[in-house]
Amino acid sequence: MTGPQPLKNLKVVEFTHMVMGPAVGAILASLGAEVVRVEPIGGDRTRKLIGSGAGYFPMYNRHKASICLDLKSPDGLAVARDLAAGADILIENYRPGAMDRLGLGYDTLAATNPRLIYCSEKGFLPGPYEERTALDEVAQMMGGLAYMTGPPGRPLRAGSSVIDVTGGMFGVIAILAAVEERHRTGRGQKVQSSLFETTIYLIGQHMAQLAVTGKPAAPMPARISAWAIYDVFETADDKPIFIGVVTDALWEKFCALFGLDDLWADESIRENTARVLARDRIMPQIRALVQTWKRDDLIARLEGTGLPFAPIGRPEDMFDDPHLLASGGLEPVTLSDGTITMLPTLPIEMNGARPHAHAALPEAGADTKSVLAGLGYDEARIEALLASGAVEGQG
């Protein structure tokens, strides 16, 4: 690893799949923690997903070691317990009760490792819904985010695993809070985050809107904007751009920048609320103006003015984004087929540096032998475990 490593020497063991749980370990690993990911015999099935799931494994499993265990075998479970006994942090996102049935629940493991911080990533926090199966999409639909994203009557999930990832981030926040508390108490604890409650936190602003205005929030495509000019506009070369004018001072600047003397002369719309009420009168003129400009020329005119603007980008455009390339926002990752690509690193900077390092995705069980050796197992015991099928791998 290069760049900041504030979590160096923290040992993490991860029993996870899909996105939410792996995202917790991915963030900790990018900050320097030593993360060992426990996969089933044959490897995590997420490795083989296609379609929209094809990017899950490479995005959320960099900078980790891999060991394959048969948790249905006594020997495989013994290895898992030994991993937990030497860990600072354990992450799991299995179905409720699954880890307890395996004898890997918090109370059992904390009895031998009281400093263990045990992070459970679930669909719901404890309550009436906690036994339900949840996915990112389930939480978005149930919690109101899909309603707010799509047009009226057409709920639409966000175009990313936003709840899985944000739920993972809340898990990391809870873990780091528990690490700080452990400095004072010497003891670990169980922490949890969830998909449903994460969704509720994200739509909390719309709940507060009802409390403030007395009116339910409308879906975003039908909302009454807080600003008159805050929209996507078509350009002369059919490359859309978002422009926002969010203060009265920016309204003055926008009018001067584009020669909108008649609009600036109208003193009745110098104040934002008045412009919002006059939006139907203002917007046709603004749309007609923007459509006379090519997008790149428009960007050149807006650059450095303080006016919010954004070309409408696609995920594939980000590989060549000059800001990301210049700032270390992407790091090289060697995929399982040997292809080297660039993927986002953590969107933070510490002491002037970004977490940034070349990562190679581990083959399933690539670190099995080295992880077992790190637990103090001798070569004969390791070979016996491999021969029994309780563990699988190389390393």
Q: What is the pLDDT of residues 77-108, one digit of tens each?
A: 999 999 999 999 999 999 999 999 999 999 99
In the prediction, which pLDDT does 227 show? 92
Q: Which of 238, 292, 225, 230 is nearest to 260 (CA)?
A: 292
Exposure of 293 in the CB half-sphere (CA atoms within 13 A)? 18
Tens-digit pLDDT profile for residues 243-260 = 999 999 999 999 999 999
In the prediction, which pLDDT does 223 show? 83
In the prediction, which pLDDT does 395 show? 74
| Tens-binned pLDDT, residue by residue, of the chain (395 aa) | 678 999 999 999 999 999 999 999 999 999 999 999 999 999 999 999 999 999 999 999 999 999 999 999 999 999 999 999 999 999 999 999 999 999 999 999 999 999 999 999 999 999 999 999 999 999 999 999 999 999 999 999 999 999 999 999 999 999 999 999 999 999 999 999 999 999 999 999 999 999 999 999 999 998 878 899 999 999 999 999 999 999 999 999 999 999 999 999 999 999 999 999 999 999 999 999 999 999 999 999 999 999 999 999 999 999 999 999 999 999 999 998 999 999 999 999 999 999 988 999 999 999 999 999 999 999 999 999 999 999 999 87
pTM of the model: 0.94
Please report which residue ranges of 258-393 form alpha helices under DSSP H: 261-265, 272-277, 279-290, 295-302, 322-327, 368-374, 379-388
- What is the distance between the alpha carbons of residues 368 and 382, in angstroms, rounded to a whole number? 9
In the prediction, which pLDDT does 224 show? 79
**Three-point CA angle 58, 62, 66, nearest 5°:** 100
In the prediction, which pLDDT does 306 show? 96
In the β-sheet with 309-311, what is the strand arrangement from edge to edge?
Answer: 229-233, 241-245, 309-311
- What is the distance between the alpha carbons of residues 135 and 20, in angstroms, rounded to a whole number? 9
180 membership: H or E segment, kind and range = helix 162-185
Q: What DSSP state is assigned to residue 128?
A: T
Q: Which of 174, 201, 170, 166 is nearest to 190 (CA)?
A: 174
In the prediction, which pLDDT does 1 show? 61
Coil, strand or helix at 392: strand
